[in-house]
Amino acid sequence: MNNYQNIRFTFCTILILVSITSGYTQKFTLGVKAGTSLSINSFGDKDDKDQFTNLWKPGFFGAALVNFPMKKNFSYQAEMGFSQRGRKIEFNERTWSNSATYHYIDLSMVLRKSYPLNWASDIQGTWFFNVGPRVSYWLNGKGTVTSGGSYNYKLAFETPPEEPLAPDFDKMYMADVNRWLFGLDFGVGVDAPTRAMQKFVIELRFTSGHTYFGAQNGAFNRTLGFVDNLRANEKIISLSIDYTLTRELNQSKKGKSTKTEIKKGKPRKNIDSMIN
């Protein structure tokens, strides 16, 4: 998929999920989550895979979330937060390495199915699985290139300067990249109540990225011998812990009680007028 198709698919998914949950907003859950992640680069072409070696890159993330219950133990959950992850590759017969750290703003939307889980006779929780789209916006980044010695660089989302100006050694120029990255989340987890309307949630999630970081020659660094290839996406494994708090809306109940009071008031007013 190109970026336009990804954007259209994501917004269609949002509209569908929001329309489904619009009738079930009397109860909702707010929470925060944090966790660690491991991401790995995945090249789309066999020749690229033969040229580079991919290694796991650790990271972390944090987010706020809101969850809306639906029928038959389904729920819709939206998450928005910040993450640090990246890519680590080796090249030139594994004599060079490029360890890059990237920062993102993330938005995830998942449809969740839950099942009962009894932790003890008086402690009832659930286990669940969920799936949904994920959107990340690439903020910035930095990295380290190692070959005998090493040097650090910062990302510059621009084309390298032309002669007579020379590109800086401490910049990784990203001339043709996709700063909007799209993927699909798959997760499984459990929750346990700590007190009334409060829970801790543990989730293991896999994210399959569908958008390439950029073009094959999208990254440029002035160092002689350096090569890179952005025609790759990311695969992420993450483990998170959430703290959630459930709240209820009583607007519909108040509306019904008001109508009842009005109906009850009519007969009383008629009786009073007859007596007087």
Cα–Cα distance between 136 and 248 in angstroms, integer? Answer: 31
For residue 69, give the nearest of 127, 14, 126, 25 by alpha carbon.
Answer: 25
The predicted model gives 181-207 an average pLDDT of 94
What phi, psi does 164 have (nearest 5°)? -85, -5
C-beta separation of 155 from 174 below 8 A:
yes
Identify the bridge partners of residue 94 per DSSP, sorted by sequence position.
none
One-letter amino acid for residue 20 of the chain: I
* Confidence at residue 265, expressed as pLDDT on a 0 to 100 scale: 47
pLDDT digits (tens, 9 = 90+) for 35-63: 999 999 999 888 888 999 999 999 999 99
Does an H or E element contain 93, and which?
none
The residue length of the chain stands at: 276
Q: Is the pLDDT of residue 149 over 80?
A: yes
pLDDT digits (tens, 9 = 90+) for 225-247: 899 999 999 999 999 999 999 88
Q: Is the pLDDT of residue 178 over 70?
A: yes
Cα–Cα distance between 24 and 156 in angstroms, integer? Answer: 45
Secondary structure of residue 214 in the 3-state scheme:
strand
Higher pLDDT, 21 or 166: 166
Higher pLDDT, 274 or 160: 160
Q: Is the pLDDT of residue 259 over 80?
A: no
Q: How far is CA 154 from the centre of its chain?
A: 24
3-275 fold: Porin (2.40.160)
| CA dihedral of 31, 37, 42, 48, whole degrees rounded to 10 | 140
Paired tokens of 124 = 């009832």
What's 231-259 look like in SS3? Answer: CEEEEEEEEEEEEEEEEECCHHHHHHHHH
Q: Is the pLDDT of residue 257 over 50?
A: no
